[in-house]
Amino acid sequence: MTTTDFRTLADELRARRAPGFWRSRRWRLDQLDGLAGMLSQNITLWEQALAKDLGKSDLEAHITEISVVLEEIRLAKRNLWHWMLPHPKPVPATLQPAWAHTVRDPLGAVLVIAPWNYPLQLALAPLVGAIAGGNSAVVKPSELAPATSELIARLAPIYLDSRAVRVVEGAVDETTALLEQRWDLIFYTGNSRVARIVAAAAAKHLTPTVLELGGKSPVYVDASANLRVSARRLAWAKTMNAGQTCIAPDYVLVHESVREPFVEELRKAVLEQLGTAPATNAEYATIVNERHFDRLRGLMSSGTRRVGGGINRDELRIEPTVLTDVAPESAVMAEEIFGPILPLVDVADADEAIAFVTEREKPLALYVYAEDTAVVRRFQQETTSGALGVNVSLAHAAVPSLPFGGVGESGMGAYHGRKSFEAFTHEKGVLAKPTRLDTLQLIYPPHSEGRRKLLRRLFR
């Protein structure tokens, strides 16, 4: 596409919003059905693409990508009529009689930029919100998951209204050209470095942004934790998609009194879930490319290796690896790991863990494993994060009634379920006042002394 093509594309999608035929509930429901068909009628193709891009097993692809979007579609279809209803609001006595309500307007033409790690879910789940909100949209999938990107681009025109939904494939050049256009919202998922480029481009047109970012999501394992269950849940969360998950547990602050039994439980949990040779297990995903593989290999030299450590560069596989005696200033603690390496940092108590977390950037997710409810309460009250998981990791993303998004360096804005509809619409306030009796005349000038006194009493 040339620069002119990008401008034409954005202009077309923005111009169409005026007559806005796709504001209707019928159009939105038809498109949501189309999107559901695009997924459910091509399950094998999606699974093959995700296996090619990330070595995802068919079951993992199904549970963490396809079914997540289908569930979002079902929820939006069920609730759309309710979300689109005007919501009545109270009116102050001084303005009575009058009726106030809010309605949700589509924003117009939106741009969705997706990353590679859940390349289907993170391109299409935002699109559910965009369509439910009555917008036109351009979706830009990640070039680092080329098979999934190609499939999205190939199937979208078959199942969706091409006048309103377009897919643009490409990398930095194409995304840069898209960002130069004027949009009504940019919904970006990815790293915080590119998020700054997105935000700067958006500022030129005063375009609002939703930024779904990442960073290090910490875990605290308390002395009171159920170590067996905690280790199982953490091993599962850290090895899902080989740790390439934005809300994957990044590192564990472990109470020093339980560190050794916890390492043993982690060893057992990895063995139970992925066997003696995880790197050859077909259920276990691969690392996305050589660059990330080499980066992760470099991070494995921090601390002492206690579990795993095996690698296979030809197949881009890294075994789940647990490191202990990790210094807080070591390389593995400096950046988001985004791979199956789990460093353990000893702490003396919950105070030290809370201080460690609050001294750093606000995370996308924070996980506390403890049976002591006072410890859990302290984490809820004394820390800030996009989400908090208590004795569970990752699963909050599968609860559509919970907002999904970061805070501070981990992002701004949220989506999933009703929040997606809200993210892609503007809440418009409407006030209507009957004309039969002009009660406002009290406020019109000129104001006699008596009227001035009355108005002062009314508007205290």
Catalytic site residues? 212, 246
In the bound complex, what is the minimum distance in angstroms from residue 268's beta carbon to ligand NAD?
28
Cα–Cα distance measured from residue 10 to residue 199, given in angstroms and rounded to the nearest whole number? 18
| Burial grade of 452 (CB within 10 A; 0-12, 13-18, 19 or more) | exposed
Of 199, 174, 62, the closest CA to residue 118 belongs to 62
Residue 296 interacts with ligand NAD (CB under 6 A): yes or no: no
Q: What are phi and psi of 133, to 5 degrees?
A: -80, -5
Q: Does 147 bind ligand NAD (CB under 6 A)?
A: no
Of these, 24, 176, 358, 384, which contacts ligand NAD (CB under 6 A)? 176
Q: Is 72 an interacting residue with respect to ligand NAD (CB under 6 A)?
A: no
CB of 122 to ligand NAD, least distance (A): 6
How many helices (H) and strands (E) the chain has is answered by: 16, 18
Query: Toward ligand NAD, which CB reaches closer, 46 or 262?
Result: 46
Q: How far is the CB of 170 from ligand NAD (least distance, A)?
A: 7
**391 membership: H or E segment, kind and range:** none
Tell me: does residue 175 bind ligand NAD (CB under 6 A). yes
The partner residues of 220 in beta bridges, in order of sequence, read 253, 368
Gap between the Cα atoms of 415 and 403, Å rounded: 6
213 lies in the binding site for ligand NAD (CB under 6 A): yes
- Among 189, 209, 241, 385, the residue binding ligand NAD under the rule CB under 6 A is 189
Place of tokens 């460690």: 356
| Rounded-to-integer distance, Cα 286 and Cα 302, Å | 22
Among the residue ranges 6-14, 209-217, 300-308, 450-458, the one whose residues contact ligand NAD (CB under 6 A): 209-217
Output the residue with the shortest Cβ distance to ligand NAD: 214
Q: Does 242 bind ligand NAD (CB under 6 A)?
A: no
Q: Kindly tell me which of 194 and 331 has the beta carbon lying closer to ligand NAD.
A: 194
The rounded distance, in Å, linking the Cα atoms of 288 and 300 is: 17
State which of residues 108, 190, 278, 339 lies at the interface with ligand NAD (CB under 6 A). 190
Residue 389 contacts residue 363 (beta carbons within 8 Å)? no
Among 55, 106, 115, 340, binds ligand NAD (CB under 6 A): 115
Distance, CA of 115 to CA of 149 (rounded, Å): 10
Residue 111 CB-half CA count within 13 A: 30
Q: Which stretch binds ligand NAD (CB under 6 A): 47-55, 115-123, 309-317, 370-378?
A: 115-123
Contact flag: residue 123 with ligand NAD (CB under 6 A): no
Give a three-class secondary structure readout of 4-47: HHHHHHHHHHHHCCCCCHHHCHHHHHHHHHHHHHHHHCCHHHHH
**336 forms part of the interface with ligand NAD (CB under 6 A):** yes
Residue 129 in contact with ligand NAD, rule: CB under 6 A: no
First to last CA, the chain: 61
Contact status: 218 vs ligand NAD (CB under 6 A): no
Does 420 engage in binding with ligand NAD (CB under 6 A)?
A: no
Nearer to ligand NAD, 20 or 170 (CB): 170
- 140 belongs to the binding site for ligand NAD (CB under 6 A): yes
| Site residue total, ligand NAD (CB under 6 A) | 28
Dihedral sign for Cα atoms in the order 241, 246, 249, 250: positive
Q: How far apart are CA 69 and CA 121, in angstroms?
A: 6
The verdict on 230 binding ligand NAD (CB under 6 A) reads: no
- The footprint of ligand NAD (CB under 6 A) covers 113-117, 122, 140, 142-144, 171-172, 175-176, 189-191, 194, 197, 212-214, 246, 336, 338, 364, 406, 411
